[in-house]
Structure 1
C-alpha cells in the first residue's frame, strides 16, 4: 500500500511539474457536457460556471473551432484587406476590456479547452473569432471612411431572411418565428452548432452558433424565460464606436438574462457600439407580444404588437436612421432586401395569414420564388438566397455577381416548442438545394485563388428537431 501511495504522489507531482492535465481534472471540467453529431449539426450540451462552459465548448468542438479560425486566417485578408494579426490586435486594444468578467471567463475557458486538445489558441483568437463580423464589416469600414470618406460605405452585409408573427397571423394565435442565415459559403457551411447552455446565472438557452462563438452570431435564440430572438442586418449601415461594448457581448447577455422584450431592448441599446447593426425580432411567449428593435449606433426605434407579422430581409424602416446612418436606397425595387421584402410580406401577411405554424415557417425560409420576375429562381432576390447562381448583381452588394454565398441554414420555432426548449434546424439551403464547390470553381476559376483551400460542398440536410437537455 505504501509503494502504491508513493507512486501516485510521484505521478501527481510529475503531472503538476510538466503541466499535464490528469483525466480526473478533464472529467470534472467536462461535467455532464455532451456532443452529438446529427444531420450536419453539432449539438452540444454545456453547463456550469462560465469557465467550465467555455472549456466544455472548446474541448468538445476543438476540431471545428480550429478549422474555422484557419478559414478566417486564410480568407479575411482577401475579404477585408486585414490579416488575423490585425483582428487580434483590435481585440487586445479595445474589445477585451469591454467584455465583462463572466464572458471573459467563458472565452478563457474555450481557449483552455482547445489547449487541452493540443491546439495553441488564446483568448485573443477566440475574441477575434467572436467579433469577426463587427470588426471586418463595421470597424474596418469605419477606418476606411475616416481615411477616405465614402470608401467604407455599403460594407455592412445584407444577409438573412426572417419573420416573427403572433395573434391573427398564426394558426394557434401564438408566436411563430423563423430565420435563415446568409453568409459566405466558405464559413457559413461551418456555422453548424446547436448550443444548449445551462449557465450558473441567468436563463437556460438553446441557440445556433458558429464553432467557438459565445453568442449565436446569426442570432436565433430560445430562452427558458420564454423569450425568442432573431435578427437581420441593416444593409448599407455605417458607424462604429470602439469605446463601447461589442455587439457579441450584448447579444449573449440579452439571450441569457432577458426576461421581457423591454429587457432585450435595454441590454442591446446600453453602451451600444454600432457593430453588427440589426433589426432585432423579439417575442415574449408569456405575453404573446412580438417586437422589432431597429438598432443603429445613434438611432433606434421599437415597434411592438400582440397581433402582427414582422419580417426582416435587411431593409431599415425608420426614416431618421435611414437618413443619418445608412446608404440604403429605399426606392431600388431590384435590390435584394427590397425584393425579398416584397415576397415575404405576401407570404406572411397574405398567403399564410391565420395559418402560420412551424411547418409552413420551414416552407417560407426555403422559398425560392422571385417576386420581381414572377418565377422560381436561384438568385439573391429570393428568400433562400443563391448568390452563386445570380448573373445580375445588385447595387448594394460589393462582391458582384456569381459570388459563393447565400442561405446556409435555417431555423424555426414557436411558443409551443419554446415551452419545451425546442427548435427546428436545417443545415444547408433550407429549400433543399446543394452547393457543389467543384462545378462552381470550373465556371468561376477566379475564386479559386482566394477560396480554393477551404470552400467545400454544402449539402442540404433534412429539417431536424433539437431539444435542450
Structure 2
C-alpha cells in the first residue's frame, strides 16, 4: 500500500437527521477511508461490539475468529482483483482503520482484519461458515471445537428465508413512465441498528454513489444505491449455499459494479467477474436514462438475467425468479407457492402492481412498501408474511420458521424515482417502512424470552422520510 497522505477531513461531511447519519467522503482511497473512519468511529466500534455478542449467540464463536479467517481469506484474493480494484479497497479500508484509531486513541487499536471480517460478515455467515461446518471448507484458523462432535443444528438458524422486500417498475406501471425502485431491509433488530448510514462516496475514478450503508463498510450491504452511472441498484437476498475461497468477495464485486457500471449489462458483467458465490441475491437494476429495468441472479454455479423491460416490473421476496435456480439450489422450489413463507409477499406485490398500474410515483411507492396485506389470513395485519415485515407482531401460529414474536422485521424504507436518481438522491425512512414505532422495553416486557437482547436493541420511534443525497 502507498504511504498515507496527510490525513484530511476537508470536504468530508456528517449530519444526523431522523435517525440517519448522512456521510459524504471524497478523495483518494486512503483519504476517503480516513474521513469515514474518523467521522463514524464511535458507531463503528459499537457495531463491532454488537456483532461479537450476536455471533456468540448464533455460533458460539466470537468475532475475532471470523476476522482472522477473513484476513487470511481476503488477503489472498484482493490483490488479484482486476484493474487494481482490490488494492484500492484495501487502501480505503486501511484509511478507515487509521481514522477510527485517530478519533478514539484511548480504545484498543482497530485492525485491518477487523474491517475485513466486518465487510465480509454477510457472505461469511451466510455461505462461508455453513461450508466450514459441513466440511466443504477448511478455515485457516481451526474451529475452537470439533465440528464432528458438535450438533450444529440449522446452520443459518438466524438467517430466515424471508428477509427484505423490493420492486423495480417502469413504463406503463409508473406515473411518469420512468423507473421507480423501492426496498425495505428485514433483519433482526439487534443486527440492524447499525444500518443507518446514508453514504455519498465521490471516488477519484468511476462514478459517485449514494447508498444506504453501515459504519465501516465500503459498500452498501443493505443494497440500495443510486449511481452517477445512471443506475438504481437494489436486491432481496436468497438462501443459497456454495462458496469458492479463491473467488472475489461479494462486497468488492458489488462496489466495483456500482462504481464503474453504466448499464444493466455492464453492471452484471462487473459483478459476476471473479464470483465466489457469496451473499446471493435477486438484484433489481434500473437505467434511469433509458427506462430499462431487469432482475439478475448469480449463485456459485448458476446465473440468470431476466429480460430487460421498458414496461413492466420485477418484485422480490427472497424467492429466486429463475426456475432453474429455484429447482437446482433448493432455495424456493416449494416456497414459490407457500403462503406461510415468502409466497404471500410475491402474490401481494402482483396485487398492488395491478391496483396501482400507471400511477406509481414517490407517494404510492411509499404506501406499497408499508403494506400489511397478509395473503394467508386474508387480513390487513402486519406479520412475518407482509411486505412490511413485523415478525415481532406475529404469534407464530402460522410460522415459517421463526419463534413467536421474534424481534426481526422491516428496519427502514427507501424509494427512488428516475428523477431522483438522476440527481443522486432517494427517499429514506429509518424505522419500519410503515412508520410504526418499536418500544424495546415494552416489547421485552411482553416477550421476556428475548431478554438476551436487552441492551442490544434500540427504540425505533416513528420517523419521517428524508433525502439521501450527494453533497
Q: Among 104, 111, 132, which residue is 2:90 paired with?
A: 104
Q: C-alpha distance in 2, partners of 1:159/1:334? A: 15
Q: Are residues 1:186 and 2:190 paired?
A: yes
State the shift of 1:396 in Å.
5.2
Establish whether residue 172 from structure 1 lines up as the match of residue 151 from structure 2.
no
CA distance in 1, matches of 2:19, 2:336: 39
1:323 to 1:82, Cα distance in 2 relative to 1, 3 A: farther
Counterpart mapping for 1:49-68 below 5 A: 49-68=28-47
Contact in 2 for aligned 1:194/1:208 (Cα 8 Å): yes
Q: Is the 8 A contact 1:185 1:458 kept in 2?
A: no
Describe how 1:8-407 pairs up with structure 2 within 5 A: 25-26=6-7, 29-99=8-78, 100-117=86-103, 118=105, 119=107, 120-146=109-135, 151-152=154-155, 155=159, 157-234=161-238, 236-303=239-306, 304-328=308-332, 329-330=334-335, 332-348=337-353, 350-392=354-396, 397=401, 399-407=402-410
| SS of the residue 2:450 aligns to | helix
Task: Give the 3-state SS of the residue equivalent to 2:318 in structure 1.
Answer: coil
CA shift, 1:109, in A, is 0.6
Q: Is the 8 A contact 2:297 2:305 kept in 1?
A: yes
Runs of 4+ in 1 over 4 A off after TM superposition: 147-151, 153-157, 393-396
Which runs of no fewer than 5 residues in structure 2 stay unpaired?
79-85, 136-146
Q: What secondary structure sits across from 1:30 in the alignment?
A: coil
C-alpha separation in 2, matches of 1:415 and 1:104: 33
How is 1:432-443 mapped onto 2 (pairs within 5 angstroms)?
432-443=435-446
Structure 2 SS opposite 1:455: coil
Residue 198 of structure 1, CA deviation: 0.5
> Aligned partners of 1:87 and 1:216: how far apart in 2?
20
Deviation of the 1:281 alpha carbon: 0.2
* 1:152 Cα offset (Å): 3.6
Contact map agreement 2:18 2:464 (CA 8 A) in 1: yes
How big is the shift at 1:64? Answer: 0.7
Query: Per-residue deviation at 1:30?
Result: 1.2
Q: Is contact 2:207-2:259 (8 Å) kept?
A: yes
Which has the larger Rg? Answer: 1
Residues 406-427 of structure 1, C-alpha deviations (whole Å, 9 max, x = no match): 0101110111111111110000
CA 1:177 to 1:259, structure 2 compared with 1: closer, same or farther past 3 Å? same
Report the number of matched residues.
441
Question: Which digits, 9 at most, give the CA deviation of each residue in 1:367-412, with x for residues without a partner?
Answer: 1121222222121101110111111266653x42321110101110
Between stretches 367-376 and 99-108, larger displacement belongs to 367-376
C-alpha RMSD over aligned residues: 2.0
Structure 1 contact 202–256 (Cα < 8 Å) conserved: yes
Unaligned runs of 5+ residues in structure 1 are 1-20
Look up the SS of the partner of 2:134 in the other structure.
Answer: helix
Cα shift at 1:184:
0.9
What is the rounded CA distance, in whole Å, between the counterparts of 1:97 and 1:37 in structure 2?
Answer: 38
Task: Write the distance in 2 (CA, Å) between the matches of 1:331 and 1:274.
Answer: 22
